[in-house]
Amino acid sequence: MNTFAAPKGIPDYFPPDSAGFRAVRERLVAAATNAGYGLIELPIFEDTALFARGIGESTDVVSKEMYTFSDRGGRSVTLRPEGTAGVIRAVIEHGLDRATLPVKLAYSGPFFRYERPQAGRYRQLQQVGIEAIGVDDPALDAETIAVADAGFRSIGLTGFRLEITSLGDDTCRPAYRQLLQDFLRGLPLDEETRARAELNPLRVLDDKRPEVRELLTDAPLMRDHLSDACREHYEQVKLHLGDLGVPFVENPRMVRGLDYYTKTCFEFVHDGLGAQSGIGGGGRYDGLMAELGGQPLSGVGFGIGVDRTLLAAKAEGLTVGDPARCDVFCVPLGEKAKRRLVILAGELRAAGVRADLAYGGRGLKGAMKAADRSGARWALVLGERDLDAGTVGVKNLADGEQTDVPLDQVIGRVSELLQH
Ligand code: HAM
């Protein structure tokens, strides 16, 4: 019979690796909640127009990568390719912006992009993100970046760098865009790149081909054409990052794949990942809320790729999370012992000890193998004779040493042992 495989590019997460995945996600979320971000859970799919308008029709994400389908009522819906548009939709819909500003929200979960799958690039990707809405203060941009930085460092990562730039806003970017377009029109570019230059000239700066990069050496850069206000904003962000001790490099050629960005933009790049080196990115998006029908409030945030962060941790040789399924593994020898250990495992769990049991009566050898595989530090071995004596064997699975402990004291004893 044919078996099934997950759809192409869609990962499964299972033990023991899922422990690392969960730990990475939890630490990134903890960095956000530590800075006053409250959790928001968003729908996995939304009205297609929300993403088309929010992210930009000319982006690859919208034009090539969305999972779009009609529901049974004939409405066009799309699996969320990113989180920012949905957060802003929810803020507008529920009037969250009527509270004290900024509204600070954090989220985690799966997102969907029909990209070409490869190592570190999936069609279902996992992000932890934050958004701070309603205050245009460069110190908030710096805080956003510092939260991501703290999240990565709490995992133990060190082999990454932060790149920042400013993309200006609608007071200076249109003139710069024109300037860049004029420059690009004068270059001997292939037809596809010319078309891109007409549609979205900034994206041409991201071309990876050496011959095109060469042509772009003298291209005008947004950084040199910022309005006074945008330049001052950018200087302030850098100042605050310095105060916070967050190291960064400037990358005036940074191109983000989403159109809503204004002013500050940033990316975290990890050296150990090969082509898919972006472990997180974000920036300010001061026009998005008005674009989506809300009041003209500013916003700044990031999305961190949980999958790539876990790969980065592995590349650095870090162990993240506890792959052990339980702390204590109960090994019954015989039916009576099993009945007693089923009860004891329940009591251990109630006392906050992760406990599992060898089911299926597979004998001492098989049960001890299962105990080792579970990652438990201790096994509780109970036979008929122990039952009669009212004791249980507490076996240290690291060195094999075993001592007898009275059954009615074993929960306290095990809890004590696990403290060390
Ligand atoms: P993004 O740069 O498109 O930004 O995605 C953020 C992160 O998600 C990337 O840096 C990367 O680590 C991860 N990621 C993206 N695509 C994939 C993929 N196909 N496979 C694995 N990981 C992936 C955003 O999504 C913005 N919403 C971030 C933001 C929030 N900007 C402001 N607020």
Q: What is the pLDDT of residues 137-159, one digit of tens each?
A: 999 999 999 999 999 999 999 99
* Number of Cβ within a 10 Å radius of residue 55: 23
DSSP 185: H
Q: For residue 71, what are the domain limits?
A: 18-172+226-315
Segment 202-212, tens digit of pLDDT = 989 988 899 99
Helix or strand (DSSP H, E) at 210: helix 210-215
Please give the number of the atom of ligand 1 that sits closest to the Cα of 122: 20
* Number of Cβ within a 10 Å radius of residue 93: 11
Per the structure block, which two tokens stand in for 339? 């009945």
Is residue 56 in contact with ligand 1, taking CB distance under 6 Å?
A: no
Which residues contact residue 183 at a Cβ distance below 8 angstroms, ignoring those fewer than 6 apart? 218, 219, 220
Please give the number of the atom of ligand 1 that sits closest to the Cα of 123: 19
Is residue 282 in contact with ligand 1, taking CB distance under 6 Å?
A: yes
Q: What is the pTM of this model?
A: 0.95
Cα–Cα distance between 313 and 321 in angstroms, integer?
A: 11
Work out how many domains the chain is built from and give that number. Answer: 2
Is residue 108 in contact with ligand 1, taking CB distance under 6 Å?
A: no
Residue 362 pLDDT greater than 80, yes or no:
no
32 and 87 in a single domain? The answer is: yes
Distance from the CA of 193 to the center of ligand 1, in angstroms? 24
232 and 113 in a single domain? The answer is: yes
Is residue 280 in contact with ligand 1, taking CB distance under 6 Å?
A: yes
Residue 274's pLDDT band (boundaries 50, 70, 90)? confident
30 and 66 in a single domain? The answer is: yes
- Mutating to test ligand 1, I would choose from 308, 310, 311 the residue with most ligand atoms within 8 A of its C-beta, which is 308
Find the mean pLDDT for residues 65-84: 98
The CATH number covering residue 347 comes to: 3.40.50.800
Residue of 350, 416, 415, 407 whose CA lies nearest to 383: 407
**Region of residue 347 (left: phi > 0; alpha: psi -120 to 50; beta: else):** alpha
The CATH number covering residue 278 comes to: 3.30.930.10
Residue ID of nearest Cα to ligand 1 atom 10: 280
Domain boundary among 288, 315, 342: 315
HSE, CB side, 13 Å, CA atoms: give it for residue 99: 11
Please give the number of the atom of ligand 1 that sits closest to the Cα of 85: 27
